[in-house]
Structure 1
Amino acid sequence: MLISNAYAQAAAPAATDPTGGLMGILPLVLMFVVLWFLMIRPQMKKAKEHQKMVGALQKGDEVVTQGGMAGRITKVGENFLTLAVSEGKDGAVEILVQKGAIGALLPKGTLKSL
């Protein structure tokens, strides 16, 4: 015959892993730790600082929205702010903005120098 018979070999005793398979999981755990410290933790810190800044806003503060509009806060509500963005011939031009849309708090007197 041209084809010989193939016989299964007896299974060798399994080599016991002294670490119990921990070395296979270690790279995944290490990647998660690196991602936590490089991406997730700084983002959470930045979000916490933004919440603190938004909570401390009050009438008269000068701010810039995330859309780039600069103005002075004239009214503060629970979820919205009223910003005076310019002076028109009939008085100040005011817009209503969500508190979360405030991007930065400006130092006092910044709007006069613009």
Structure 2
Amino acid sequence: MISLLSAAAASAASPPAYLQFLPLVAMAVIFYFLILRPQMKRQKEHQQRLSGLQKGDQVVTAGGIVAKIVRLDDHYVDLELAPGVRVKAVRSTLGDVVPQGSAAAND
């Protein structure tokens, strides 16, 4: 009886080795399409917005401050928060450009 069970176990073929890695590959593909690809797309759009900045644009900083660009540099921007109130900010911390017709731009 034991020899019969061991013969049956020996005759059962083990699955190919690539089937063991198939779940890992599937998880990597899902991770890429659900997380990495959208993040890279957002980062590319942000870089395009930063490269298209001009003097006079209304921007929102990462801290939520709405200001007008007074001067641009490769790494820094001078922002005017109110008439006569200027601050210097790192260009990469600018979050978004405020459309000219919005309520925040009119304040």
Would you call these one fold, judging by a TM-score over 0.5?
A: yes
Kindly report which structure 2 residues correspond to 1:94-113, keeping only aligned pairs within 5 A, or say none.
Answer: 94-110=86-102, 111-113=104-106
C-alpha spacing 1:20/1:95, structure 2 compared with 1 (3 Å): same
2:53 matched residue in structure 1 = 57
Q: TM-score, normalised to structure 1's length?
A: 0.78
Moved over 2 A (4+): 12-17, 109-114
Residue type at the aligned position of 1:113: N
Residue 40 (structure 1) aligned with residue 36 (structure 2)? yes
User: Residues 35-88 of structure 1: CA distance to partner in whole angstroms, max 9, x if unpaired?
Assistant: 00000000000000000100110101010101011111000011000000012x
Residue type at the aligned position of 2:90: Q
Distance in 1 separating the partners of 2:105 and 2:22: 57
Unaligned 5+ segments in structure 1 are: 1-8
Unaligned 5+ segments in structure 2 are: 1-5
Find the structure with the greater CA-based Rg: 1
2:3 matched residue in structure 1 = none
% same residue = 35
C-alpha spacing 1:48/1:61, structure 2 compared with 1 (3 Å): same
Indicate the SS of the match to 1:43. helix
Distance in 2 separating the partners of 1:100 and 1:53: 10
Residue type at the aligned position of 2:57: D
The size of the alignment, in residue pairs, is: 100
